[in-house]
Amino acid sequence: MLEYAKKELVKYGKLIIEAGLTKGTGGNFSIFDRESSLMAITPSGVPYMSMREEDIVIMDLDGNIVEGDLKPSSEYQMHSIVYKNRKDVNAMVHLHSKFAATVSTLRKPIPAVDYLVAFSGGKEVPIAEYATYGTKELAENAMKAMGDLNAVLLANHGLNVVGPNMMTAFAVAEQLEFCAELYVRAKSMGEPVILDDEEMTMMVKRFENYGQKKE
């Protein structure tokens, strides 16, 4: 089932490690197949570099396993709530990337330190209220804070990025982790200048057609 999604998840698992966006088994990713209403999600505790297509778990949006021998990621609810609420989203990455996670410990958004923050779909990457990992509460907090945007920070935890497909979600995650790094580094020397709302509104419009839409 969903062979294309399994292939993509295995491929992007390696790319995400190579890009330095997470380590070992940290984070989790999924692809949603709108036609069948099923989600392909990475398994719990399998290192991305050795993950195989048969390790991917297929689930419905109510949390039932439809195919797969392994346990799905403990954050599956955080993925399914997004597919239930967002018709424009077919892929999601949840990462423990170093700099986004660093900012998340301040429980503050990533402000517009660079125009690339507009890849979030807004003038900043918002921060969700803290909840224990793997809980329904965390899924709800993340969904609420993200709203119609493409990304959200999870307090003292990491970053979620969504997109029309895996390629876009991955590319946006790389850009936002770069912005988080700029913010952390700039803060170590002084107070960065934040781009104004007018500039960021224009950038958001400009980025709206970024990436490849799902065919």
Dig out the tokens for 104 from the structure.
């998340």
Q: C-alpha angle 55/73/100, rounded to 5°?
A: 120
Catalytic residue among 8, 75, 174, 181: 75
Active site residue 75: yes
CA dihedral sign of residues 89, 90, 96, 97: negative
Give buried/exposed letters for 72-81 (b at 16+ CB in 10 A, else e): bbebbbbbbb
| Contact between 83 and 147 (Cβ < 8 Å) | no
What does each C-alpha distance from 71 to 39, 59, 60 come to in angstroms?
A: 14, 11, 14
- Catalytic sites, residue numbers: 75
